[in-house]
Amino acid sequence: MIDFLLKSKSMRVRVAALIQDPKGKILLVQQQKKQSGYWLLPGGGIEFGESGEEALKRELKEELSLEVSHSEFLLLNESIDPNQKRHLIQIVFLTKVKELLPVLNAKEKAISGFGYFTPKEILEMDLRPDIKHYFRAKSTNKPRYISSPWVNEP
């Protein structure tokens, strides 16, 4: 019991949007941590008492000034730190927005950039959580569960 209390454990539930432009490119945002940058689907944490879709709308509006016009569940991704200190559950929605061009919120310090990328380009990027095998697989409309390896900070 004391071992459990001494270890710092953290679980995070995050929503993310898979937004595509008319050419099928996918919107990713870049974050800087320490000396390196990585890419991820736009979104953020769910607050207690908030639904996933409500959190998705709030996060996209706050961080990128994007207004959601439609969203539907696409996949659930789970990533667990091998040291058992962190656990991430990411709920991804296929999302349509009213305007495709994000506007970064000046107060948002975590996001350092954004861009639309082809699935082939995404396979070469540092994507977190690493759901690249979703982009490798032949697309299906069937919702799925994806377990991805934990990415340790350098």
29-49 pLDDT, tens digit each: 999 877 778 999 999 999 999
Which pLDDT does position 6 carry in this prediction? 46
Is this structure's pTM higher than 0.75? yes
Q: How many CA atoms lie within 13 A of 77 on its CB side?
A: 25
Give the C-alpha separation, 23 to 108, whole Å: 28
Query: Domain 13-115+127-134: which topology?
Result: Nucleoside Triphosphate Pyrophosphohydrolase (3.90.79)
Read off the pLDDT of each residue in 97-120 and give the average, rounded to a whole number: 92
5-24 pLDDT, tens digit each: 445 578 899 999 999 999 99
Average pLDDT score over the chain: 87
Longest dimension (CA), the chain: 54
Which pLDDT does position 71 carry in this prediction? 96
pLDDT higher at 90 or 35: 90
Query: What share of the chain has pLDDT > 70, as a percent?
Result: 90
Of 120, 130, 101, which Cα lies nearest the Cα of 41? Answer: 130
112-137 pLDDT, tens digit each: 899 999 999 999 999 999 999 888 87
